[in-house]
Amino acid sequence: MTTTQPTGERRVVANVLRGSIGNLVEWYDWYVYAAFSVYFAKAFFPEGDPTAQLLSTAAVFAVGFLMRPIGGWALGRYADRFGRRSALTLSVTVMAAGSLLIAVTPNFQTIGIAAPVILLLARLLQGLSVGGEYATSATYLSEVASAGKRGFYSSFQYVTLVAGQLVALGVQIVLLQVLSTAEMNSWGWRIPFLIGAGGAIVVMLLRRGMDESESFRAETASAAKSGSSRGSLRVLLQYPRECLLVVGLTLGGTVAFYTYTTYMQKFMINTSGISKPTVAWINFIALLVFVVLQPVAGALSDRIGRRKLLIFFGVSGTIMTVPLMTVLAHTSNPIAAFGLMMVALLIITGYTSINAIVKAELFPTKIRALGVGLPYALTVAIFGGTAEMIALALKKGGHESLYFWYVAGCIAISLITYYFMRETLTGSTIDAEARAADTVADAEQELARSRA
């Protein structure tokens, strides 16, 4: 007997696709802010030094991360109690509200200090949304995936996460072709936020038709019989080791990810001196290749294990980050810059492709969404959300190279976690629960036949 949906692999693929499309739109909305901040910084903050304006938008970007732990707690708790599908639908609704708010807010010259205040409010809503989206999406994709292919299917979380960033860059490239710089700075930057709000509304309707995961349905039935609690901090505190593992797993990966992807665009413009349109193309093509790498690495983890890929990232990231960023800082050739970025993205693939499934495999179903979401979101808020702000602050202070060492140091800390952790492929709680459910179901069927 199998716990896969009755219609088999095709049903699994359908659920993964519907969950992934929603994930793409959510992360598109999140990354549009970073991709277009160089254009709307003047609209929300007073005239002044361009780096200071970017630093202000980066600060709001970082503050948005502060809501992610709240989102990870609130929506993770909701997902563990009322279902993954309901939580995913709620998260995309909140994201739509945040994007629409940014799109329609008047500029600083029109409403003064209210403009950055509204921008902050919108970003807090988006932070709440993605804080819950990551945990619930990671949980859902891991649970609906076929046994033996969980690494492959769960990798589509980062396929769509990066694809969201890719679509944001694609929209940027198109707008740069049809609008002048003055039009982009004036009103063109509002277009991608309107696109995101509309897409989120469509996804909200799409997600209402998703299947609930078999694991959650089985847990709901079991809890109803036993009266056990789910999705609470009290239950989560019964798994302190797993929570600390999530923190260790995430720390280096989130700093490296936001450095190699989000901040890399500004780094090439402000430090390398490459033009904005060229940097947009470099990022677009590099991230397109990066998307393709995710399922390849995810499938590889189903064969050789998750831990080996994590150690590859940890060792390579610790050793290579400083020389990569140092050389890139003095590179104005677009082809060379693209090559350096691809090396960085290949390194981070060892983390991004499997981090969702590794964390999901640590926790039982009754606390999986909250267990993945809260410690992850706290770590991302502290380290991922401040990465760009720290980088820009060090640049403004004339010590930009210190940031390269900071990133390498964070990865080194995670490497220690990867080295001492157990292999989750062979010790997956998802597979263990599935085998236990199969055993109980087979026993019940055998008892029913004997009675008949």
78-116, pLDDT tens digit by residue? 888 888 888 888 888 888 888 899 888 888 778 877 888
- pTM for this entry: 0.81
Does residue 19 belong to any structural domain of this protein? yes
Cβ–Cβ under 8 Å, residues 302 and 150: yes
Closest of 406, 168, 399 to residue 271, by C-alpha: 399
Question: Longest C-alpha distance within the chain, in Å?
Answer: 83
Residue 143: give its domain's CATH number.
Answer: 1.20.1250.20
Does residue 184 belong to any structural domain of this protein? yes
Q: How many domains does the structure of the chain reveal?
A: 1
- Within 208-259, residue ranges assigned H as helices are 214-226, 233-236, 240-258
Does residue 229 belong to any structural domain of this protein? no
Does residue 224 belong to any structural domain of this protein? no
Number of other residues whose CB lies within 10 A of the CB of residue 224: 9
258-299, pLDDT tens digit by residue? 899 878 888 898 888 888 888 888 988 998 999 999 999 999
Work out the mean pLDDT of the chain and round it to a whole number.
84
**pLDDT above 90 (res 214):** no
Closest of 24, 291, 44 to residue 133, by C-alpha: 24
27-85, pLDDT tens digit by residue? 888 788 877 877 877 777 766 656 656 667 767 766 777 788 888 888 888 888 888 88
Cβ–Cβ under 8 Å, residues 313 and 351: yes
pLDDT of residue 53: 60
Does residue 311 belong to any structural domain of this protein? yes
Number of other residues whose CB lies within 10 A of the CB of residue 66: 19
Residue range(s) defining the domain that contains residue 76: 11-208+238-433
Cβ–Cβ under 8 Å, residues 312 and 350: yes
Q: Quick one: residue 91, left, alpha or beta (phi over 0 = left, psi -120 to 50 = alpha)?
A: alpha
**pLDDT above 80 (res 238):** yes
Does residue 225 belong to any structural domain of this protein? no
Chain-centre distance for alpha carbon 429: 22
d(CA 243, CA 104): 40
Does residue 6 belong to any structural domain of this protein? no
164-179, pLDDT tens digit by residue? 888 887 888 889 889 8
Does residue 448 belong to any structural domain of this protein? no
